Amino acid sequence: MIQSSPSLLPLPERVRDLPTLAGNLWWSWNRDARALFKEIDPLTWRRTRHNAIEVLHRADQARLTACASNPSFLDRYDRALAALAHALDRGPTWFHQHHGQLSNHTIAYFCAEFGLHNSVPIYSGGLGILAGDHCKTASDLGVPLVGVGLLYTRGYFDQRVGPDGWQQDADEVLDLAITPLVRVLAASGDPLSVTVRTFDRDVHVGAWRLSVGSVPIFLLDTDLEQNEPDDRQLTHRLYSGGTDLRLRQEWLLGVGGVRLLRALDIHPSAWHANEGHSSFMLVERLRESIVAGLGWDDAIESTRATSVFTTHTPVEAGHDEFSHDELTACVGPVWEKLGVDREQFLDLGRSPENRDVFHMTATAIRLSAAVNGVSQLHGQVTRHMWRGLWPERDEAAIPIGHVTNGVHLATWMAVELMPVLDEVMGSGWDARRDEPDLWDRVLDVEPARLWAVHCELKRRLLAYVREEARQRWRTQWPESARVVGAGVLLNPEAFTIGFARRFATYKRADLMFSDPDRLRKILTDPRQPVQIIFAGKAHPADEAGKQIIQDVYGFASDPAFEGRVTFLEDYEMHLAHRL
């Protein structure tokens, strides 16, 4: 991440709307728009990890002038602008065609992280990537979605791995000038803020708007002058610090997010809590209903009727829970505003397995009419995990469903593959991707053509890994073992397995090394070579996760594996966009 950025140069009149394209992350999944910014300055495009705004900030005036007189550039520019205008018009979309009577309604989507693009590093892994894809797809379909999250101005911490294999955390500050974030203003023109009370004092919460096609995402920010120094740091980092900070962040997300939408005169008809981090959004709406005059039971039913909850984690360690004392210290006597006693309030979050903690997932399940896992199998696992909430029901009858995870095709499909599909499926196939027989045409792709694209993409991936290793060897690493373990010996012909996840212990990154002798035979088989690439970070406070990194790094540096295990120090979920 860059600390500072140059000012944007005056643009030629013919391409004056380039900042409009760069200011909406829609460009990141549009072929013409991506090619447009790459063409302005390919080297800067690569060095900035495909940051369209930074490309414009660093562009040479002569180059911009040349682009403004280049017919092919202008043709692509005009197509991109027309496509953006079409994307922002919900009229011809799937949602309008099938649910036009609901077009004036809004769905609020709360999540602790959104993985949208490298230039906005407010994500750490799968939850954020799913949330980002969810918002992009909602835009494509015309679903009237509004996202709510937190702005982590220090991102999800940087790391380096020292010579001893231990993770070293680094502090990087996000330069908002090279992001598409726009400060949310009140009618007066001043920055808008709402107030959330926590630990016996008011915290002022501002917001930034991030445009993702037709979907706005509002990111909450406590780094405001009117806040106490400690409170200004509350939204600095994602998943950082101990449980007290995590609790305060989740309280700010839930309560502050609801109050922000009210301040913006946005009144959702449905509210979606994506994972238990967002459960306090449901509690705040419960409070609103009681303040409006409903009794406890009626307020719960009213909240449930318009609430959806998605759970992602199939193991207990991945669910947030807080002691009753921690919760009380953070939120204060909120039960008084709810018209109940402390125990009745705490009952919202009691888990069947542990009644002495406030469990965020249990809270969300109790306050949501619809609950789902993220695959058919995960739905089964979740019903088993939470069967204690319905002790009188058979497990198969527990009202927890599933919606199988998908990915946003335009984001994750390699640009090099798209022209191959154009040839057999026709141009514009991505707008017809739900036609039942469209994908049958994939069988008409020449296998050799498909394999050639695959090999080229793999070659570029390994070239990237080797270049990263070369740079670190030149600037940081005196030991040859570290160079070997960083990927310089990767074989472009070998079957490659990737692990790109946080090094939380429950994700079991070290499972592959439980039988080193067997693994060594697999990796070093000359007839069927296999290699593994690891990329990930451990939570700064997770010493067990850091120990796993050290163990995996030790295997990566072991000459016995012949350089077949690689550890990348940078964790970039959007690695494909960087190549």
Among 16, 19, 32, residue whose Cα is nearest residue 410: 32
Tokens at 104, concatenated: 């004036």
Instruction: Say if residue 545's pLDDT is above 90.
Output: no
pLDDT in tens, 371-409: 999 999 999 999 999 999 999 999 999 999 999 888 899
The total of other beta-carbon atoms located within 10 Å of residue 336's CB is: 11
Position 542 scores a pLDDT of: 77
Q: Is the pLDDT of residue 575 over 50?
A: no
Mean pLDDT, the chain, whole residue set: 88
pLDDT at 2: 31
pLDDT band at 163 (very low <50, low <70, confident <90, very high): low
Q: Give residue 474's identity as a one-letter amino acid code.
A: R
What is the reported pLDDT for 564?
86
Q: Which residues 6+ apart lie within 8 Å of 32 measured at CB? A: 76, 79, 80, 83
Whose tokens are 């520019």? That residue is 77
The predicted structure's pLDDT at residue 433: 80
Instruction: For residue 493, give both structure tokens.
Output: 């012909």
Between 561 and 84, name the one with better pLDDT: 84
Tell me the Ramachandran region of residue 239: left when phi exceeds 0, alpha when psi lies from -120 to 50, beta otherwise.
left
| pLDDT recorded at residue 137 | 95
Tell me how far apart the alpha carbons of residues 208 and 89 are, in angstroms, rounded to a whole number: 23
| Confidence tier at 164 by pLDDT (50, 70, 90) | low
pLDDT tens-digit readout, 304-317? 999 999 999 887 76
Q: Which two tokens stand for residue 416?
A: 């090099």
In whole angstroms, give the CA distance from residue 255 to residue 334. Answer: 12
| Mean pLDDT score, 198-204 | 95
For residue 136, give both structure tokens.
């992009």
Q: Which three-class secondary structure string do you get for 27-75?
A: HHHCHHHHHHHHHHCHHHHHHCCCCHHHHHHHCCHHHHHHHCCCHHHHH
* Cβ atoms of 380 and 391 closer than 8 Å: no
Q: Once rounded to an integer, what is the mean pLDDT over residues 501-528?
A: 86
Parallel/antiparallel/unpaired status of strands 565-568 and 193-198: unpaired
Residue range 424-446, pLDDT digits in tens: 998 888 888 888 889 899 999 99
pLDDT digits (tens, 9 = 90+) for 355-371: 899 999 999 999 999 99
pLDDT of residue 478: 62
The amino acid at residue 116 is L
Q: Is residue 24 scored above 80 in pLDDT?
A: yes
Q: Whose structure tokens read 């705490």? A: 346
Write down the pLDDT at residue 161.
67
Q: What is the pLDDT of residue 566?
A: 82
- pLDDT-based confidence at 159, cuts 50/70/90? low
Per-residue pLDDT at 578: 39
Q: Cα(304)–Cα(366) distance, rounded to whole angstroms?
A: 8
Of the two residues 169 and 41, the one the predictor is more confident about is 41
Instruction: Note whether 29 and 136 are within 8 A (CB).
Output: yes
Instruction: Report the DSSP pairing between strands 145-150 and 167-170.
Output: unpaired
The pTM is what? 0.90
Question: Mind listing the pLDDT tens digit for each residue in 102-149?
Answer: 989 999 999 999 999 989 989 887 899 999 999 999 999 999 999 999
Question: Is the predicted pLDDT of residue 3 greater than 50, yes or no?
Answer: no
Which of 152, 191, 159 shows the shortest CA–CA distance to 173?
Answer: 152
Transcribe 316-332 into DSSP letters.
GGGS-EEEHHHHHHHH-
Chain-centroid distance, C-alpha 15: 31
| Percent of the chain clearing pLDDT 90 (strictly above) | 63
112: closest CA among 104, 122, 121, 97? Answer: 122
Q: How many CB atoms lie within 10 A of CB 537?
A: 26
Which residue is it, tokens 């197509």?
79
Q: For residue 579, name the pLDDT band (cuts at 50, 70, 90).
A: very low
- How does residue 157 score in pLDDT terms, banded at 50, 70 and 90? low
Q: Does 53 score more than 60 pLDDT?
A: yes
Q: How far apart are CA 297 and CA 286, in angstroms?
A: 10
Who wins on pLDDT, 173 or 532?
532
The pLDDT score that the predictor gives to residue 574 is 41
* Better-predicted residue by pLDDT, 479 or 413: 413
Residue 54 pLDDT greater than 50, yes or no: yes
**In whole angstroms, what is the distance from residue 271 CA to residue 107 CA?**
6
Distance CA 133, CA 272 (A): 15
pLDDT on residue 485? 61
28, 80 Cβ separation under 8 angstroms: no
> In the predicted model, what is the mean pLDDT of residues 287-295?
96
Mean pLDDT within 179-193: 95
Q: What is the pLDDT of residues 226-278, one digit of tens each?
A: 999 999 999 998 877 678 899 999 999 999 999 999 999 999 999 999 999 99
* Position 79 confidence tier, pLDDT thresholds 50, 70, 90: very high
pLDDT higher than threshold 90 for residue 223? yes
- pLDDT of residue 476 exceeding 70: no
In the predicted structure, residue 288 carries a pLDDT above the cut 50: yes
For 176, the token pair is 């908002």
